[in-house]
Amino acid sequence: SQQGEEDPQALSIQEGENATMNCSYKTSINNLQWYRQNSGRGLVHLILIRSNEREKHSGRLRVTLDTSKKSSSLLITASRAADTASYFCATAAGSQGNLIFGKGTKLSVKP
Amino acid sequence: NAGVTQTPKFQVLKTGQSMTLQCAQDMNHEYMSWYRQDPGMGLRLIHYSVGAGITDQGEVPNGYNVSRSTTEDFPLRLLSAAPSQTSVYFCASSGGTYNEKLFFGSGTQLSVL
């Protein structure tokens, strides 16, 4: 399985601080995606980074991908209480591979 | 544009009962999938479909059945419910191929007693 594995499992920070979550995976990938899940809700797509990309930005989100280390990081800058959620990475191997999700990082942002 | 709609939101079943979880999308997406989410396990793929009339198994297909008669609908059937199927079920669709951006429904929380 090339399931991504997030680290840490849980993260608690104060509002205004930056939050960094990491994802490691096992095999070569086509792309890597990050999703957010608020409590009791469905997952929402945040960002997709392809295997030939090294960094991508979207608003306060910054994603990096290091294919040599088989790892990715998600940085949320200037966090807000509304960023409190679980964050999942998902990887896909090749054009025929379904997305496989990690177990997630639970982020708590305290006001 | 409702996106991906799942019904019901909650369901309680007795062991051995059967039921169908409904999933519909109005984005004309070819790819649809079902995941289950259990505490500490992340999301696991049950079944998926790349278009009407085409379905395939994911990581944990046992005890579940799917069909895809239209582009819009992708129902998940529990043939004989077991307590191990207590979980939250998510339907997702994509306008691209297998592994592009997924749009998720809001989930069905299922308890099997």
Q: What tens digit of pLDDT does each residue of A2-34 get?
A: 467 888 999 999 999 999 999 999 888 889 999
Contact A73, A63 (CB under 8 A): yes
Q: Mean pLDDT, 10 residues at a time, over chain B (113 residues)?
A: 93 97 96 93 91 93 97 97 97 84 96 97
Using the Cβ of A31 and the Cβ atoms of chain B, whether some distance falls under 8 Å is answered with yes
Confidence at residue B2, expressed as pLDDT on a 0 to 100 scale: 83
At which residue do the structure tokens 């957010």 appear? A36
Confidence at residue A94, expressed as pLDDT on a 0 to 100 scale: 66
At which residue do the structure tokens 């999301």 appear? B43
Q: Report CA A87 to chain centroid distance, whole Å.
A: 6
A15-A21-A25 Cα angle (round to 5): 170
Chain B residue with minimal CA distance to A31? B99
Q: Report residues of chain A scoring pLDDT below 70.
A: 1-3, 94-96
Distances (CA, A) of B10 to A106, B60, B111: 24, 21, 8
Confidence at residue A95, expressed as pLDDT on a 0 to 100 scale: 62
Spatial distance between the Cα atoms of A90 and A97, rounded to a whole number of angstroms? 11
Whose CA is closest to A29, among A103, A86, A98, A88?
A98
Q: Identify the helix (H) or strand (E) that includes residue B7.
A: strand B4-7
Contacts of A96 in chain B (CB under 8 A): 98
Chain A residue with minimal CA distance to B38? A103
Spatial distance between the Cα atoms of B23 and B89, rounded to a whole number of angstroms? 10
Confidence at residue A8, expressed as pLDDT on a 0 to 100 scale: 93
* B98/A41 CB distance under 8 A: no
Confidence at residue A105, expressed as pLDDT on a 0 to 100 scale: 95
Using the Cβ of A41 and the Cβ atoms of chain B, whether some distance falls under 8 Å is answered with yes
Instruction: Sort residue A101 into left (φ over 0), alpha (ψ -120 to 50) or beta.
Output: beta
The Cβ of residue A18 has, within 10 Å, a number of other Cβ atoms equal to 12
Distance from the A41 Cα atom to the nearest Cα atom in chain B, whole angstroms: 5
Using the Cβ of A33 and the Cβ atoms of chain B, whether some distance falls under 8 Å is answered with yes
Spatial distance between the Cα atoms of B92 and B102, rounded to a whole number of angstroms? 6
